[in-house]
Chain A
Amino acid sequence: MTAYQIQAEGLRKRYGKTVALDGVDLSVPAGSVFGLLGPNGAGKTTVVRILATLLRPDAGTVRIGGHDLARSPREVRDLIGLTGQYAAVDEDLTGRENLTMVARLLGLPRAEARRRAGELLERFDLTGAAGRTAKTYSGGMRRRLDLAASLIGRPRVLFLDEPTSGLDPRSRGAVWDLVRALVDEGTTVLLTTQYLEEADRLAGRIAVLDHGRVISVGTPAELKRAAGGRTLDVRVTDPGRLADLERVLAGVAGSAPTRSGELVSLPVDATVDGREALDEVLRRAAAEDIAITEIALRLATLDEVFLALTGHDAREGAAA
């Protein structure tokens, strides 16, 4: 028995003079979602391409489902499914034909291939469009078809490379639901994303990748804690009282509040008791008759974590 479904050690890859991966280690427990988080150019796609047997690393070893990727790529391919960054569907074929083709390639007999294709079309809400060629599909429909294609073979390990980039919020939510459903059924999912919210919502564990290196690994909560304190967010009813509120907050924790719109945020470090800080703010605001519409003490967002870890924004390219 292997506890880890995906195990990568010391992955290195360079393209000419550019170092894409500079020693990446990953361990993903079976039946979990693992998020690979990082800006463009951090090396996320390179990791996925190596794990999905599309690219050979210059150094390092990978075991998937207990199989050594370099020695038994075929056994690994039996276990995996891949949805890349671009919807890999044949535009000249219908949705149904795309799925049937993959099913036939995986060795399903004709009737069973059609049945499996129908099942997934249904699941992905594509039955109505099944007879149309994929070039008539919207971006979201293509993405769904692509996802469906990667699930034809009931993969034990699913790689999703930025599965929701370019999708509208509703489609994004649908992909999230699907990932959760798959994991409930025992699939192991490794997904890359530049959306911190996505990693936060889906992944049990996250590795933050920057310049080809894992700079931090942990649960979303651990990462947030590690990146330092919490933030006290307070919103006022009357914008005219913002300056007063800032003064009140500064007096509570001794740190400098920041303002965005009607929201004032105050960093709170670990030495301050959160409960007391909240009480104190409410008391002082009431004393000065400042009406508060919203108040919350929250952990750092992953955006803030990313900034703290890398010194640059998550969306910024890793150009340096």
Chain B
Amino acid sequence: MNQADFLHIVMPFKDKVFRLAKRLLVSNEEAEDATQEILLKLWSKKEQIENYANVEAFTMTMTKNFCLDRLKSKQANNLKLVHSNYKDESVSLQKQVEAKDSMSWMARIMEKLPEQQKMVLQLRDIEQYEFEEIGKMLNMKPTAIRVALSRARKAIREELIKKHNYGVS
């Protein structure tokens, strides 16, 4: 397998890997490092890739494990305190200030969720995977996914309503 073949396989989901990593690690730099690491790991295993039934699900599982390991390690905990990149410049520059504000607010709400809910929400509402696929990636049963997802969505709703009632972020 040469570089072009590899990129052909990896391209469609490399952004998803990055977004899941960023959801878990929050820091942009950390997420980029993690994504690079995962792509290099895949590259080193490129001969076996063809044997995997579902490379994308396999990679997402790898990403999940890698990021959770990072979070566990001390190093990542230190970094977590430093970051503060809630805004995504490429997109929000075109948006109004108010919209930008609510974006960063949403990001902060999501950051407060437990890791499992974060992942489920990320994979479902942002990447729009089917429950079955999410189950493969996170090694969870569909019912468990449903429960986690419902909790995550309701938690966000609660925060949003709170904000509405007090008018403060």
Whether chain B is bound by chain A comes out as no
**A interface with B by C-beta (< 8 Å):** none
Q: Mark B residues whose CB is within 8 Å of A.
A: none
